[in-house]
Homo-oligomer: A and B are copies of this chain.
Amino acid sequence: MKLAYLEKIPQAQTALRATGERVTEPRVAVLATLLSSDHAMSHLDVAAMIAKRHTIDRVTVYRVLDWLVGVGIAHRIAGDDRVWRFMLNAQAGAQAAGKTNAHHAPSHAHAHFTCNTCGQTFCLDKVQPKMNVKLPTGFSTTEVDLKIRGLCAECK
């Protein structure tokens, strides 16, 4: 766990280069941090993790995180505590960012799980929240978020 972050740096650099955008130190650090985590992280989680080895400004973390969302590498999740959490997209390991505008696929659907006890949020990628939702007439859907709360395996 301690070293996971360092190990992910080359992978992060490769993924960033694939975007065609600038590969900067803060971007590498933030992406490597997300790559080393199995759960969604707040901007503060990310900043604290990076701060163990480098100095980085909180504002930069915000901006890089938003940028990662913009280029389609990560996505943001609204928490119950009014804090955004970030997580890599399923296939974001390396290729993902290849296409020019992976911005937001239409009818994008996501499922997340938040533990009531430890507060950690996980992404349920395998779950396609296929539901029988009948919207009122005249309404159309562009995006669906499914949030599940409960107890995770650790806290049970």
Seen from chain A, the residues whose Cβ lies within 8 Å of a Cβ on chain B are 78-80, 82, 84, 111, 113, 116, 122, 124, 126-127, 129-154, 156
| Contact A127 B133, CB 8 Å, known A78-B80, A145-B147, A146-B145 | yes
Distance of A134 Cα from B80 Cα, bound (Å): 22
Q: A111 — nearest CB in chain B belongs to which residue?
A: B133
Least CB distance, A53 to chain B, in whole angstroms: 30
Q: How many copies does the complex hold?
A: 2
Q: Which residues of B contact A122 (CB under 8 A)?
A: 136
Q: Which residues of B contact A116 (CB under 8 A)?
A: 142
Distance of A82 Cα from B78 Cα, bound (Å): 7
Verify A151–B147 contact, CB threshold 8 A: no
Q: Which of A146, A152, A153 has the most CB of B within 10 A?
A: A146
